[in-house]
Amino acid sequence: MTSHKTASSQTFPAGSDAFPHRHLLGIAGLQPWEILFLMEEAKQWVDLNRKSSKHADRLDGLTVINAFFENSTRTLLSFEIAGKRMGADVVNMHAAQSSIKKGETLIDTAVTLNAMKADAIVIRHGSSGAVQLIADKVDCPVLNAGDGRHEHPTQALLDALTIQRRRGEISGLTVTICGDVMHSRVARSNIYCLTTLGARVRVCAPPSLLPAALDRFNVEVFTDFDEALKGSDVVMMLRLQNERMNGDFIPSPREYHYLYGLTRERLKLANTDALIMHPGPMNRGVEIDSDVADDLENSAITEQVEMGVAVRMACLDILTRKSRGVEGWS
């Protein structure tokens, strides 16, 4: 397996060669050093966010629009805090306020947002590919905050940063991702991110929640959670979407917990210091038990949230460097 140096010792290409993309629409197609560069840049913001004064002026005068066509609390708040801490004027557009509800097409909305001269637009949408559709129509950088079942790149970056800070290396670790993989953009982005960084990735789900052809994604596929857990260094649980649970994809939450719930007892099958992760919000007692989620030693769930703000600050900073005229970012 290819070994990648940890970000702290990694050297990156100069200027925009380190991240030559206009938008951040997904992890698919990013080079390992590009992912590591984003993570490395995020670290300075982790430090800033732990100070009493958290303000940076890097994005002073810039306007960031968070256009959320799908409900979100955590991700929206994280992006809002990230933008504000960087000094940007942050405007949130919620789905309920959107003209989409009045029949306006997504492209009309994109053109409107573009005319408002935003410096960056953060988009969440319920349809796979919707963010790319908007990105093709606007002049400023677009950040994907989750599109349908497709990708959620900043979530994967914050997860990778969390793992890296806890374990030093990502390369060579065995990471098990378990849950509703079929409907999960978090799973897709994490599969791309972690395999690109050299981790051994296992994917586990009930057969009804496993998308087709996963074996072509450089991952091992399991339907037996106990087998998947054996020797895992990281256990990443996914939210089981309650709205899909009754008699549709799984027989019941009770049965799901029995077969796929992360319990203290089951966790013993993983390595003793296995890191426990969850993108939230959690269904406690369904995909994860509270005593596992709240484990002070091994659960990294709150740290993931903290890393989220730092990663989003880094992404906003990097994607606006060209428009801000930062040297080397043409």
Partner 1 sequence: MKKNFTNARLVLPDEQQPVEGSLLVEGDRITAINIGADDQPDGAIDCQDKLLAPGIVDLGVFAIDKPAFRFGGITRAALMPDQAPVLDLPAMIKHNAVDGKPDLWSHPIAAATKGLKGQQLAEIGLMQRSGAKAVATGRQWIADSGIMLRLLQYCKSLNLPLIVHSEDAGLTGDAVATNGETATRLGLASATAAAESLSIARDIALVRETGAHVHFRQVTTTAGLDLIRAAKSENLPVTCGITPAHLLLSDIAISDFRTFARLSPPLRDEANRLACIEAVRDGTIDVISSGHDPRGPEDKRLPFAEAAPGMAGAETLLALAFTLVRDGIIPIGRLFELLSTNPAKILGVDAGLLKAGHEADFILIDEDAPWQVDTRKMAAAAGNTPFDGLPVQGRVTAIYKGGRAY
- The reply on whether position 185 binds partner 1 by CB under 8 A is yes
The smaller minimum CB distance to partner 1, of residues 83 and 146, is found at 146
CB of 148 to partner 1, least distance (A): 5
Told to check if 170 binds partner 1 by CB under 8 A, we report: no
Q: Which helix (H) or strand (E) holds 160?
A: helix 153-167
Q: Helices 301-319 and 74-85 sit at what angle, rounded to 10 degrees?
A: 50
CA terminus-to-terminus distance, the chain: 35
Phi-psi bin for 246: left (phi > 0), alpha (psi -120 to 50), beta?
A: beta
Map the footprint of partner 1 across residues 7-46, applying CB under 8 A.
28
Nearest distance in Å: CB 105, partner 1: 7
> How many binding residues for partner 1 (CB under 8 A)?
24
* Integer CA distances (angstroms), 148 to 2, 118, 124, 132, in order: 31, 24, 8, 12
Instruction: Report if residue 102 touches partner 1, rule: CB under 8 A.
Output: no
Q: Please select the residue that binds partner 1; options are 41, 70, 151, 287, rule is CB under 8 A.
A: 151
Structure tokens at 171: 């390369």
Distance in Å, CB of 188 to partner 1, minimum: 6
Is residue 148 a contact point for partner 1 (CB under 8 A)?
yes
Of 160 and 214, nearer to partner 1 (C-beta) is 214
Of the pair 34, 70, the CB lying nearest partner 1 is at 70
> E strand or H helix at 166, and its extent?
helix 153-167
CB-based contacts of 174: which residues, under 8 Å, 6+ apart? 199, 200, 202, 231, 232, 233, 234
Mask: binding to partner 1, 107-136, rule CB under 8 A, as x and -? x-----------------x-xxxx-xx---
Angle between helices 153-167 and 32-49 (to 10 degrees): 70
Q: Which of 43, 85, 124, 149 binds partner 1 (CB under 8 A)?
A: 149
Interface pattern 207-246 for partner 1 (x via CB under 8 A) = ----xxxx-xx-----------------------------
3-state DSSP: the chain helix, strand, coil percent, rounded to 5?
45, 15, 40
257 binds partner 1 (CB under 8 A): no
How many whole angstroms separate alpha carbon 64 and alpha carbon 67?
9
Candidate segments 70-78, 113-121, 149-157, 275-283, binder of partner 1 by CB under 8 A: 149-157
Host H or E run for residue 91: strand 89-94
CB of 238 to partner 1, least distance (A): 14
Tell me whether residue 99 or residue 105 sits nearer to partner 1 (CB atom).
105
Compute the least distance from the CB of residue 147 to partner 1, in Å: 8
What stretch of H or E contains 34? helix 32-49
Q: Is 316 in the site for partner 1 (CB under 8 A)?
A: no
> What does the alpha-carbon distance between residue 263 and residue 291 come to, in Å, rounded to a whole number?
8
Residues in the site for partner 1, rule: CB under 8 A? Answer: 28, 105-107, 125, 127-130, 132-133, 147-151, 185, 188, 211-214, 216-217
